[in-house]
A and B are shown apart, each in its own frame.
Chain A
Amino acid sequence: MDWLMEWGVTWAVFLPIVGAAILVLLPRSSEMGIKVVSLVFTGAPLLLGIMLLGPYRASGGIQFEKNIPWIPSINANYHIGVDGISMPLLLLTFLVTFLCMIYALWHLPEPHNPKVFLALCLLLETGMAGTFVALDLVLFFIFWELVLVPMYFLIGLWGGPKREYAAIKFFLYTLFGSVFMLLGFLALYFQSEPNTFDMIQLQSGGVLDISRGLANLIFFGLFLGFAIKVPMWPFHTWLPDAHTEAPTIGSVLLAAILLKMGTYGFLRISIPILPDAAMTFAPLIGALAVIAIIYGALNCLAQVDLKRMIAFSSVGHMGFVMLGIATMTDIGFNAAIYGMISHGVITGMLFFLAGSIHERYHTRDIPELGGMIHQLPMLGGLLAYSAIASLGLPGLAGFWGEVMALLAAYSPIEGLNTGTFRVFMVAGGVGTILTAGYFLWMLQRVNLGTVPAKWEGKVFEDVHPLEMASWAPLLVLILLLGVMPSIVFGVTNDSVLRLIEAIGR
């Protein structure tokens, strides 16, 4: 037990990279072996994550902490730990990656090369999980950047027709942001007394004593890094391209987890370390968030490619997350974390479905599809279920994040203009109507009606058992999180309250 509490997180984070190394050693031809290794090395972290829930205490603040010197010359430490803000995201990472490995048993994209493909996925997992547990800025940055490389290759090598453009755009755009983020980190280091990269130390009073202007500038640097990752409007244009071109598993991981690194950065780094600057930026963040909601929804209405539509819907949903963050309230932060989890589960599921639809029809063009529920009743039913969850129906996962974010916007923290945020709230509300509109319209065109002449007489295989196995946990979570929102709020609330208390100092 002691071992688990001390080293469990570390093992969980690094096991995938070990798996990747083993894959490299395996011969390319032993496909089954490759798949088994990747299953084991993603399953084990998931198992560790679940086991950690046992000793985990919601009221315990940061736990499973490990802090050992790493690069003494710059006072960078291997400092990791988990609290209510990171725990749900960490588990989501382990779960979704594992499910992707199950999905890989059924289908892998062309060009067929499971060894490299799966090794990259494992590498990606370490990067993502590491980002969520790092409590040292250098460590955080390493993990953050580690994510870029495998995703770049996943898109660039296994993507659609415009994969190269999409991959480079993804890479450079994110890199562009992370350079400013790094500059922000460096500034924090040099401005702190004693110089430190430690997030916890930087939050504590007296360590960071800087002018308002400098704080705002640093915040802006971090903002660029995180906002591009989220992505916030108007930095989102890499996302639709990356999603459209990425292979199914890439899209799922990108939507379900990668985007959350940005929003997580706000909650873990920007806001706690620079709360005053966060207050200054909050109205801007709120404004960009609601623009994203409306703008994302409008763009969804204009899409013909199913995957691209889901990508734009992510822009809108992440807008709700950012709106929650912008309110700087406990309700808003809770809503944001909840929204990240529900978006991860639902949109991850939607990308799986889009991939499986493409596998069968070899097209994702919404106008070309139609009457799918007649030919593929199960797949069509799941699409309807996930789309309805995504439009925020109460009782399913999508609801709570949205409604709590809007609730928070009704009454933002003292110091922010209530009137402004109520305008945001109303705009967000309009966004929910548009969201319902484009999802139902999509369902009408894809699922309903009669089978078009083009597909008539074709026999498709409905949901394969392996597909079902990889989706079932997400499908159950969509309902479970909707019916028992306390599953997430119970974990997050206490840490959120600590955060609120910390920034209120």
Chain B
Amino acid sequence: MVRLLAAEAHEVAVPAMIDWAWLIVAVPYVSFFLIVFLGKRLPGRGHEIGIGATAISFLLSVPVFASTISALGTEGFHGFEKSIRWLQFGDNEFLELGMKIDGLTVVMLIVVTFVSLMVHIYSTGYMHGDRRYTWFYAALSLFTGSMLNLVMANNLLQLLVGWEGVGICSYFLIGHWFEERENSNAAIKAFITTRIGDVGFLFGVFVLFFAAGTFNITEITEAVEGGTIAAGVLTAAAVLLFFGAIGKSAQVPLHVWLPDAMAGPTPVSALIHAATMVVAGVYLVARMFTVFHASPVALDEVAIIGSITMLIAALLALVQDDIKRVLAYSTISQLAYMIAGLGISAYTGAVFHIWTHAWFKALLFLGAGSVIHAVHSNNMSDMGGLKDKMPITYRTYMVGGFALAGFFPLAGFFSKDEIILGAFMQARAGHGVGWFVFITMIVTAFLTACYVARMLALTFFGKPKYDTGHVHPHESPGSMTTPLILLAILSVVGGWVGLPGEPNLFANWIHFEALEHHPFNLAIAIFSMIVAIAGFLTGWTIFRGGRLKIDIVRSPFGWFYRLLENKYYLDDIYMSAIVRPIRDQISKFAYWTNQNVLDGLVNVTGMATAALGRGAYDKIDQPLIDGAVNGVAFGADVAGRGLKFWQSGNIQGYAGVLFVGIVAFVLAFIFIRI
């Protein structure tokens, strides 16, 4: 049942590890069931299973990663693929259950398993004493399994299974503290909003299935490369697939769910809503990049959506009080960087940014969790001056912040630089949206450094703004700080795999054949560095005093500030133009119609014919055709079925309808025969 596609075609020995790679996915799935059924009886209330399972997945991922990247040097080798037949439908159409292991997959495997492991460990401290501790770990396991399924799937339907699986886990975990209505609202919002995108994604899968005759990603890729699919079809497929990315990766206009998703526990935000699930959209575009590459229109759409999103999200990050919301908008903005990067064909840079962003954004979220744990508030207006109280959190957070701002030599610098370089090359080559994307990226880079400075200043510097009488912040336990330290290390060295080389190491792992890799450009690197420093200094100058807001509310720019504070009013518009009308008005109207029109028709017919029947019985039947055989006979027949116990006036009425109907039908038959 196992077939091997790629490896046989090339001179690559299949390492034994690859045969067992499916365990990476299977172990967390099994862990979910074990935790659900056994977790509560264990001393750690299930976390030992979750941590163990994730550790196994990570430890399995490392050799898979190593053996795959070492094979990637071989000429013509793209990856390993294995599958079994999942189901057959139709004449010759199959759905496989399989795994595709290439550079993109193994990079994602490392990201997902490592961040998940960090979050699992961190949560033993952060979630300590939670009333649904066991369930929390069960959901984390289910999430990890689904996410790994998503990145390893060799076909689009299997990918979709993982895709929706992470969606439902996201729903569970956002709403983990569902006693508060607000939290369960956020959970529903996340699920429904992303599902809107998913429907588009699904249709995109359909388009590709009927165009290429398969769900298999490799085969679709080959069909596209072979030029057998019409350009219009590819554009449709790409645009529809991108719907899924817009929802999952929180791009405009479906980004509204992600800030609300911060209602979930902070470790969840780090894992799901920063490092892994939300990059699934980016991953999808990267995975199906052949389709996008074949459609300039789709690529431009991707680039434009990404550019708009990165800018408006970065602006929103600048005005938040809730530290998690700063990070949430920052995540949207950075995801948009990746999306736009793919749009301007900076394929390697975009995937590289998935990699670096995972480390520093997970770090920032976990750091924020540590701070929240200490001051019992999400709001930066309750923080300040934590530098000395929480030395480890502070130092690691600074690393994360600088990496996000894009300072050399931290991780974020390398990936961001590569994307900006890609945009610049596109622009210089005279590509239509190139300059637009490039300038937006520069502005966003400036804003990013600016809000990072603001966040750092308000949280760790200045005077304490929390109630010093009651709140006594102290450093978090080792279970929480250890992941911080590890992630901080990765936030520094993680980018070094992209050190200038010819080509650089990361580009060796991940590259798109048809695209040339732009060599490192010192001028662009220095320029983007200057922009970041300028942004940081600007932010620092304005906010180091501990001010939360700038005094522009009364200035000519006041309207703009209010626009930002209200999130461009998008939430209000969606709520009052879509959600409430459907949920509260259209649905009520539909039900009213059902009861009064459709069902009314049934009831009126019944009653009218009952009256007709009675009339016929009184006026015609009894006086004229005594002992008749028609209506009454039928009524009796019906009654004979046992109905007489329940006889009401209606029965004869309905029977009358029947009779009239039958007569009409018989007449119709006769008519046709003649």
User: Cα distance A211–B87 when bound, in Å?
Assistant: 40
A503 contacts across to B, CB distance below 8 A: none
One of A9-17, A136-144, A434-442 at the interface = A434-442
User: Cα distance A169–B202 when bound, in Å?
Assistant: 40
B178 contacts across to A, CB distance below 8 A: 373, 444, 447-449
- Contact of A68 with B by CB under 8 A: no
One of A200-208, A262-270, A297-305, A350-358 at the interface = A297-305
Q: In the bound complex, do residue B195 and residue A432 qualify as a contact, i.e. CB atoms below 8 Å apart? A: yes
Q: Which residue on A lies nearest to B131, using beta carbons? A: A374
Q: In the bound complex, do residue B87 and residue A485 qualify as a contact, i.e. CB atoms below 8 Å apart? A: yes
Q: In the bound complex, do residue B642 and residue A149 qualify as a contact, i.e. CB atoms below 8 Å apart? A: yes
Q: In the bound complex, do residue B90 and residue A433 qualify as a contact, i.e. CB atoms below 8 Å apart? A: no
Q: Which residue on B lies nearest to A338, using beta carbons? A: B89
Q: Which residue on A lies nearest to B651, using beta carbons? A: A168
User: Cα distance A180–B659 when bound, in Å?
Assistant: 11
Chain B 645-661 near chain A by CB (<8 Å), digits 1 or 0: 11010110011011001
Q: In the bound complex, do residue B209 and residue A407 qualify as a contact, i.e. CB atoms below 8 Å apart? A: yes
Q: In the bound complex, do residue B164 and residue A394 qualify as a contact, i.e. CB atoms below 8 Å apart? A: yes
Q: Which residue on A lies nearest to B87, using beta carbons? A: A486
B151-205 contacts to A, CB under 8 A, are: 157, 160-161, 163-165, 168, 171, 175, 178-179, 181, 184-185, 187-188, 191-192, 195-196, 199, 202-203
Chain A 400-430 near chain B by CB (<8 Å), digits 1 or 0: 0001101100110000000000000110011
- Contact of B74 with A by CB under 8 A: no
- Contact of A24 with B by CB under 8 A: no
User: Cα distance A214–B673 when bound, in Å?
Assistant: 8
- Contact of B643 with A by CB under 8 A: yes
A403 contacts across to B, CB distance below 8 A: 157, 202
Q: In the bound complex, do residue A164 and residue B648 qualify as a contact, i.e. CB atoms below 8 Å apart? A: yes
**Interchain nearest-CB distance for A423 vs B (Å):** 12
B673 contacts across to A, CB distance below 8 A: 214
- Contact of B470 with A by CB under 8 A: no
Given A211, A330, A484, A485, which contacts B91 in the complex, CB threshold below 8 Å?
A330
Given A237-B599, A394-B161, A448-B178: A493 and B89 within 8 A (CB)?
yes
Q: In the bound complex, do residue B165 and residue A395 qualify as a contact, i.e. CB atoms below 8 Å apart? A: yes
Q: Which residue on B lies nearest to A176, using beta carbons? A: B658
Q: In the bound complex, do residue A434 and residue B175 qualify as a contact, i.e. CB atoms below 8 Å apart? A: no
A404 contacts across to B, CB distance below 8 A: 89
B588-641 contacts to A, CB under 8 A, are: 588, 590-591, 594, 598-599, 602, 606, 638, 641
A493 contacts across to B, CB distance below 8 A: 88-90
B128 contacts across to A, CB distance below 8 A: none
Given A300, A330, A432, A444, which contacts B184 in the complex, CB threshold below 8 Å?
A444
- Contact of B668 with A by CB under 8 A: yes
**Interchain nearest-CB distance for B410 vs A (Å):** 38
**Interchain nearest-CB distance for A116 vs B (Å):** 12
Q: In the bound complex, do residue A334 and residue B161 qualify as a contact, i.e. CB atoms below 8 Å apart? A: no
- Contact of B70 with A by CB under 8 A: no
- Contact of A179 with B by CB under 8 A: yes
**Interchain nearest-CB distance for B237 vs A (Å):** 12
Q: In the bound complex, do residue A486 and residue B179 qualify as a contact, i.e. CB atoms below 8 Å apart? A: no
Q: In the bound complex, do residue A497 and residue B209 qualify as a contact, i.e. CB atoms below 8 Å apart? A: no
Q: In the bound complex, do residue A497 and residue B646 qualify as a contact, i.e. CB atoms below 8 Å apart? A: no
**Interchain nearest-CB distance for A143 vs B (Å):** 15
**Interchain nearest-CB distance for A431 vs B (Å):** 9
**Interchain nearest-CB distance for A166 vs B (Å):** 11
B206 contacts across to A, CB distance below 8 A: 406-407, 410, 425
Q: In the bound complex, do residue A301 and residue B642 qualify as a contact, i.e. CB atoms below 8 Å apart? A: no
Q: Which residue on A lies nearest to B193, using beta carbons? A: A433
Q: Which residue on B lies nearest to A234, using beta carbons? A: B598
- Contact of B20 with A by CB under 8 A: no
**Interchain nearest-CB distance for B138 vs A (Å):** 11
Given A176-B657, A432-B199, A436-B191: A393 and B583 within 8 A (CB)?
no
- Contact of B587 with A by CB under 8 A: yes
Q: In the bound complex, do residue B582 and residue A395 qualify as a contact, i.e. CB atoms below 8 Å apart? A: no
- Contact of A490 with B by CB under 8 A: yes
- Contact of A217 with B by CB under 8 A: yes
**Interchain nearest-CB distance for B108 vs A (Å):** 19
Q: What total of chain A residues lie within 8 Å of the partner, measured CB to CB? A: 74
A373 contacts across to B, CB distance below 8 A: 178
Specify the main secondary structure of chain A where it touches its partner. helix
B160 contacts across to A, CB distance below 8 A: 394
Q: Which residue on B lies nearest to A428, using beta carbons? A: B199
B650 contacts across to A, CB distance below 8 A: 168, 172
User: Cα distance A434–B87 when bound, in Å?
Assistant: 29
B658 contacts across to A, CB distance below 8 A: 172, 175-176, 179
Chain A 151-178 near chain B by CB (<8 Å), digits 1 or 0: 0110010000000100111011101100
Chain A 38-68 near chain B by CB (<8 Å), digits 1 or 0: 0000000000000000000000000000000
- Contact of A465 with B by CB under 8 A: no
- Contact of A472 with B by CB under 8 A: no
Q: In the bound complex, do residue A437 and residue B175 qualify as a contact, i.e. CB atoms below 8 Å apart? A: no
Q: In the bound complex, do residue A187 and residue B669 qualify as a contact, i.e. CB atoms below 8 Å apart? A: yes
- Contact of B586 with A by CB under 8 A: yes
User: Cα distance A426–B240 when bound, in Å?
Assistant: 12
- Contact of B662 with A by CB under 8 A: yes
Q: In the bound complex, do residue A448 and residue B175 qualify as a contact, i.e. CB atoms below 8 Å apart? A: yes
- Contact of A450 with B by CB under 8 A: yes
- Contact of A295 with B by CB under 8 A: yes
Given A164-B646, A187-B669, A436-B195: A298 and B586 within 8 A (CB)?
yes
**Interchain nearest-CB distance for A489 vs B (Å):** 5
Q: In the bound complex, do residue A156 and residue B646 qualify as a contact, i.e. CB atoms below 8 Å apart? A: yes
User: Cα distance A162–B256 when bound, in Å?
Assistant: 45
Q: In the bound complex, do residue B164 and residue A175 qualify as a contact, i.e. CB atoms below 8 Å apart? A: no
Given A164-B648, A217-B669, A441-B188: A426 and B203 within 8 A (CB)?
yes
User: Cα distance A86–B594 when bound, in Å?
Assistant: 33
Q: In the bound complex, do residue B661 and residue A172 qualify as a contact, i.e. CB atoms below 8 Å apart? A: no
Given A237-B594, A299-B587: A221 and B602 within 8 A (CB)?
no
B559 contacts across to A, CB distance below 8 A: none
**Interchain nearest-CB distance for B550 vs A (Å):** 38
**Interchain nearest-CB distance for A178 vs B (Å):** 10
Chain A 288-315 near chain B by CB (<8 Å), digits 1 or 0: 0000000100111111000000000000
A394 contacts across to B, CB distance below 8 A: 160-161, 163-165
Q: In the bound complex, do residue A237 and residue B591 qualify as a contact, i.e. CB atoms below 8 Å apart? A: no
Given A183, A395, A486, A490, which contacts B161 in the complex, CB threshold below 8 Å?
A395
**Interchain nearest-CB distance for B235 vs A (Å):** 16
B90 contacts across to A, CB distance below 8 A: 329-331, 334, 493, 497
- Contact of A34 with B by CB under 8 A: no
User: Cα distance A180–B594 when bound, in Å?
Assistant: 24
- Contact of A213 with B by CB under 8 A: yes
A484 contacts across to B, CB distance below 8 A: 87
A153 contacts across to B, CB distance below 8 A: 642
- Contact of B672 with A by CB under 8 A: yes
Choose among B185, B187, B643 the residue with the greatest number of A CB atoms under 10 Å from its CB.
Answer: B643
B606 contacts across to A, CB distance below 8 A: 172
B92-120 contacts to A, CB under 8 A, are: 93
**Interchain nearest-CB distance for A215 vs B (Å):** 10
User: Cα distance A279–B80 when bound, in Å?
Assistant: 45
Could you name 15 residue pairs across A and B whose Cβ atoms are closer than 8 Å? A152-B642, A168-B650, A183-B669, A221-B665, A234-B598, A237-B598, A298-B582, A303-B591, A426-B203, A433-B192, A437-B583, A444-B181, A448-B175, A450-B179, A490-B88
Interface residues of B (CB under 8 A from A): 86-91, 93, 157, 160-161, 163-165, 168, 171, 175, 178-179, 181, 184-185, 187-188, 191-192, 195-196, 199, 202-203, 206-207, 209-210, 582-583, 586-588, 590-591, 594, 598-599, 602, 606, 638, 641-643, 645-646, 648, 650-651, 654-655, 657-658, 661-662, 665-666, 668-669, 672-673
The 4 closest A-B pairs by CB, nearest first: A301-B587, A302-B591, A298-B590, A486-B87
Contacts A407-B209, A444-B184 aside, 17 further interface pairs with beta carbons under 8 A come to A153-B642, A168-B643, A168-B654, A172-B638, A175-B638, A213-B672, A217-B672, A234-B598, A298-B586, A298-B591, A330-B90, A371-B179, A429-B202, A432-B199, A437-B582, A485-B87, A486-B87
